[in-house]
Amino acid sequence: MHIKKLYNRQMKEQKSLDILRHSAAHIMAAAVTELFPGTKVAIGPFIEDGFYYDFDRAESFTLDDLTKIEEKMGEIIKEDHPFIHSSVPKDRAVKDFREKGEKYKAEIASQIDGDEVSVYKSGNFTDLCKGPHISSTGKLKYFKLLSVAGAYWRGDSSREQLQRIYGTAFFTKEDVDGYLAKIEEAQKRDHRKLGKDLDLFSVNEAVGGGLVLWHPKGALLRDTIESYFKKFHIDNGYDILFTPHIASEELFRISGHLQTYSENMYAPMEIEGKPYRVKPMNCPMHLMIYKTKLHSYRELPVRYAELGTVYRFEKSGVLHGLLRVRGFTQDDGHVIVAPEQLEEEMLKVFSMAINCLKDFGFSEYKIYLATRPEKKYVGEIEDWEKAQNSIENALKKTRYDYEVDEGGGAFYGPKIDIKIKDALGRLWQCSTIQFDFNLPERFDIFYIDSSGKKARPYMIHRALLGSLERFIGVLLEHYAGALPVWLSPVQVALTNINAEQHEFCIKLLRELKKNDVRVIFDGRNEKIGHKIRENVMQKIPYVAVVGNKEKAAGAVSVRARGNRDLGVMAIDNFISLIKEKSAYGVNDL
């Protein structure tokens, strides 16, 4: 009961905040139209951390303009105009908006069902809106405009290009200041900046947008995660697969991707007169492997896993570092189960996901059970209910709190989504566990049951990390680039004070590598303080310094990340420390 009351209170507070931010968007639009006559307004909703409004203006908004808009908003707030709601005939609203030149509002109004539309007026500004709003503009006290970005009208790249002004609002100054500090910290942690500073990856237009080039250190980081993936899955009863990057178009016709997913697929290529596609999904090929032999009920569940690279079309405007790309590698898995095994297997996959995320240092989650969509879905409602009940029973046994996302399931089955919370409290979608009625039917897969008859299995799609690209982006931002020892592409920077220790360091370098320590030797003819600072800036966990005393003692002077002096250590002790801290799931120094 206590948890329920807390949840209800949080929801009430969030709803109040949403209303405040929605009202702030209206006040911003009023300020913009007063300051810049002729600007057309489009839409202005509240969003998770604030609000935005889309404008059609010939000139681009500048940072100076944002300051002017904030000042004008302050004037409107001081005037304390009430928000007045009314319902007006739809035809009149469309006519009024057209006469004012507000073509976007007229378009929206014309498409609203019914004979009347809802509008809100505050001061001289009237907006098409369902509401609700705060009682008057004076109730908005603490806000900040943040940035300007481009946006297509209704998200359609063939429509007008608009300008979107983002802002945020809170009930207290402390909350605004805290949010702005969080934004500043997020900018420091931006994985694109860290990727460049730490020389991990790059994206080059000569190669193509959304196609990542992994540099040596970035490739080492990927390899470490891939090695973890393979061992973790083998230990949990999975078989590792490898499948091609392209396949006959017919395969994707059978799977249904060609019919339902073609806008995200790349154009076909012709090979010996037959159309082929680069794959957007791995699951059809996994099912073709399953079909190569007869399976008994005694073999089920059959568990397949692959680090499969797929290619999906994303518009250039949404590409974003590692978080939104066109070619990415999924930590993909597919489980073929008998119907009676579904609940137990979903519980196992969920536990796998949580254990995996914990190994990478994530311990806070938001978990959702996404249920049958209202309209577009395959299969019988009775089967959906059985699957949803099995999944919910599995979730209840985990003792984790979860929310039901009504209608949020895929068209082919219900699913569990796990969002992780990072060091800044941001939520990231990573693990997903999806039930599938569709593909077993389309590929006509079966197993021989205990009575010797053919039976249709169920299928579970699951990804624990999501895509490697996106997950590495999340890791970099979560740790601000200072990755745990087991993940760090370079674990030790070995450096000498002068040339007298050079040969000793070369021998030590070989010894560390022989013990699987990822180490570099910085033997430059530079001052030791300069070399230490540069290696610290690269966020390397340990800097091992060798002077004449260390050379004579067969030891190193060790500095740990975070400006911690660990003192002089014998080589064997230092290697033991690295190995201890390099174990999977150890996330501190």
Active-site residue numbers?
A: 283, 312, 330, 332, 334, 415, 461
Angle at 202 between CA 197 and CA 207, to 5 degrees: 160
Rounded to 5°, angle at Cα 470 from 465 and 471: 40
Tally of CB atoms within 10 A around 561: 17
Distance (Å, whole) CA 274 – CA 37: 58
Cα separation, 152 vs 465, whole angstroms:
31
Give Cβ neighbours of residue 563 (< 8 Å, ≥ 6 apart): 536
Q: Quick one: three-class SS letters along 443-503? A: CCCCEECCCCCEECCEEEEEEEEEEHHHHHHHHHHHCCCCCCCCCCCCCEEEEECCHHHHH
| Contact between 256 and 442 (Cβ < 8 Å) | yes
Spatial CA neighbour of 37 closest among 108, 100, 87, 130 = 100
Distance CA 415, CA 421 (A): 20
For residues 255 and 443, the answer to whether their CB atoms sit within 8 Å is yes
494 contacts 505 by C-beta, under 8 angstroms = yes
Which DSSP symbol is given to 82? B
The helices-and-strands tally (H runs, E runs) of the chain is: 18, 28
Residue for token pair 């597919």: 334
Instruction: Tell me the HSE value of 312 on the side-chain side, using a 13 A CA sphere.
Output: 19
State the DSSP H helix or E strand holding residue 370, giving kind and residue range, or none if neither: strand 365-370
Q: Cβ(94)–Cβ(109) under 8 Å?
A: yes
Work out whether strand 274-278 and strand 302-311 pair parallel, antiparallel, or are unpaired.
Answer: unpaired
The bridge status of strand 302-311 relative to strand 239-240 is parallel
Question: What is the 3 state secondary structure string of 3-71?
Answer: HHHHHHHHHHHHHHHHHHHHHHHHHHHHHHHHHCCCCEECCCCEECCEEEEEEECCCCCCHHHHHHHHH
Provide CB contacts within 8 A for 320, sequence distance 6+: none
Kindly provide the b/e burial profile for residues 484-494, where b requires at least 16 CB atoms within 10 angstroms of the residue's own CB: bbbbbbbbbbb
b/e string for 195-216 if b means 16 or more Cβ within 10 A?
A: beebebbebeeeeeebebebbe
Secondary structure percentages of the chain, helix, strand, coil, to 5? 40, 30, 30
Closest CA to 550 of 566, 529, 570, 565: 570
Query: Which residues fall within 8 angstroms of residue 278, CB to CB, at 6 or more apart?
Result: 245, 246, 265, 266, 310, 311
Report the half-sphere exposure of 5 (CA within 13 A, side-chain side): 2
Rounded CA separation 476/485 (Å): 13
* Distances from the Cα of 390 to the Cα of 344, 346, 416, 449, 539, angstroms: 9, 8, 12, 21, 45
